Amino acid sequence: MAHISIAIIIILVLILVIILAIYCGVRYLQKKTRDVSQALFGTEHITEAAEKMRVENATTPKSVASMTSLLLPKIATDFPEFHYDEMKERAENVLKGYLQAISAQNNSLLKDGNTELKQELEQHLQSLYAQGRHEHFENIRIHRTEINQYRKAAGRCIITFQSSLECFHYITEDTSARIEGSKEYKYQTRYNVDMIYIQDRSLVENDLDHALGLNCPNCGAPISSLGAKVCEYCGTPVIEYNIHTWTFSHVEEIH
């Protein structure tokens, strides 16, 4: 009986030691969590820290990768009459129109853009419809827009504008139940918007682009020289036509 009593005492002591070790470990982790929370967010309470971080994410605009100062001189060399402020405003209007069209489920709200972009929008709306979902973009505000890329490929000249914007972004189901996003916290993000000029329709890879490009308003000949001021066949001025031939082909969110 004495041996059994000693064994029980030893077991109880071991259990007590284990419980004490677990308690000390939990207290240590809680202290470390409070210390980290205090250092990073100025508060020991993790729930307050999480809320503070959420508010900070909702109010801090995303940065944009600006290459404007480097690329704009190259664009101006190819297209002397290119007006940066006008084109930037067009790009921002296209981005707003694209998101508003999704929110209203009405593709006619996208006023600018080529067939490629309008098909992209329609496919997005059809995908949402097939899932029984409705995507909302409310109170859209663009913080900053800069040129991010300028490239030439497959008969196209492409300028990519990158915009930092905020909005209330959330997704609901047909039952109106919100399944993603927030109506209380703003969503900070970035979008790329591609503006294109068809330089040579014989080289483009997309069949939709064969209907684009610039022709002389007088003789109908294709204008293939970048920034051409006159038609090389009949000498008709084409500067204004050239500028308005820029159109938009793609909108993409950058995470």
Tracing tokens 């905020």 back to the chain, one arrives at: 166
Tokens read off for 199 = 């330089």
| Selected residue with higher pLDDT from 115 and 214 | 115
Q: Which of 109-113, 150-154, 241-245 has the lowest mean pLDDT?
A: 241-245
User: How far is residue 40's CA from residue 49's CA, in Å, rounded to a whole number?
Assistant: 8
Residue of 122, 142, 126 whose CA lies nearest to 134? 126
Q: Is the pLDDT of residue 192 over 60?
A: yes
pLDDT value of residue 208: 45
Residue of 129, 112, 95, 135 whose CA lies nearest to 252? 95
Tokens read off for 220 = 């109908």
pLDDT value of residue 164: 97
- 89 DSSP β-pair partners: none
Q: Can you give the pTM of this predicted structure?
A: 0.69
Contact 60, 221 (CB under 8 A): no
Q: Kindly state the DSSP code that residue 60 receives in the 8-state scheme.
A: S
Residue of 115, 133, 80, 155 whose CA lies nearest to 248? 115
Q: Is the pLDDT of residue 244 over 60?
A: no
Amino acid occupying residue 82: F
Contact 158, 151 (CB under 8 A): yes
Q: Tell me the Ramachandran region of residue 3: left when phi exceeds 0, alpha when psi lies from -120 to 50, beta otherwise.
A: alpha
User: How far is residue 169's CA from residue 253's CA, in Å, rounded to a whole number?
Assistant: 13
pLDDT band at 88; cut points 50, 70, 90 = very high
User: How far is residue 111's CA from residue 88's CA, in Å, rounded to a whole number?
Assistant: 15
